[in-house]
Homo-oligomer: A and B are copies of this chain.
């Protein structure tokens, strides 16, 4: 039998919020409560920043009804942070972990957070501190390696699909060119989900642009012109992360702010949509051109989560604790794998932290069409079960009235 490690547990949340990130938190807390090895269940406010500043809360004292409500509430209940720890930070963090006898550490976040967990874990190893360190996956971008998909993605994708469903109807009502800018820094999974909005022949999005394919202004204008000629309208969805041939983000050319992970600010501004709208107005002489940037609503809108996503987010939180308690491995991330076959079926596996940290994955080539302006059927098959059933759309059959001759 494996020797069980006893001590306190610390959990924290990091990076951009999702609407199911608290499912993972509550999944981990409720699982931890079942195990005697875990004494105190602490939460750190604002990720590792809260660890460094000694802002810890006692999660064992939270009542079950509170936890249940928190689970279905969007965004990080513990607060989040975007911070890559320096060598010095790691020392401070590590001292705190020892001071509070933290033996179980769980960090909910994306690949940057997996990297942070990995750094902390390496530090613990160096001094032979007996420690379990697990990353719990979360990102609406769906770009973690080793995963079929990531908690947070399904719900954000659901929001995008619903928003574009509505916007397509809006664009039918008042025809013109409409551009919707969708999150996803380097991976096009979220913008791709807009394709799920299509219900009837002729429905938008008519064109979808991904960060994975070099964005050419000329091709874009030609694409829009062709669709507009065919339908008298054109609905375009475009990733905030579209980049030119040299890999420079189209939006980045116009913004300057950079976070500590070296990422350029692409969200929280309408500039990309406005640039693209201006290009169409000027070059194609189409008068009604509009752009909307869906922004933070994609990761925070309440009461719309995908059922599958919520369930899986809870599960990865729960499993991280189970893996840690089992003692079979000291550290890792919980990955979601999908079984091949028609019926949607997932299973979970621990994977080494370093395999999830740092690098991200992109849309597989088979998910993007040859022209680079739409998804393939394979993507639809992939995404549908993650997003769940979408609202029904009613459309009039429009039987023409027989013309009266005068």
Contacts and interface: CB of A to CB of B under 8 A. Distances in A.
A3 interface: no
A296 B292 contact: yes
Contact of A163 (B77, B269, B297, B395): B297
B173 A301 contact: no
B394 A66 contact: yes
A-B interface, 6 closest residue pairs, ranked by CB to CB distance from nearest:
A270-B270, A69-B394, A268-B290, A292-B295, A166-B300, A75-B169
A354 to B, nearest CB: 26
A165 B302 contact: yes
B167 A77 contact: no
Interface string A364-403: 0000000000000000000000000001111111111101
A122 interface: no
B169 A300 contact: yes
Contacts of A299: 170
B58 A400 contact: yes
A263 interface: no
A355 B237 CA distance: 41
Interface size, A (range): 35 or more
Nearest to A271: B274
A78 B399 CA distance: 12
B66 A397 contact: yes
Question: How many copies of this chain are found per oligomer?
Answer: 2
A127 interface: no
A253 interface: no
A151 interface: no
A42 B398 CA distance: 10
A394 B70 contact: yes
A61 interface: yes
Contact of A42 (B273, B277, B401): B401
A170 B296 contact: yes
A169 B70 CA distance: 11
Interface in A255-289: 257, 267-271, 273-274, 277, 287, 289
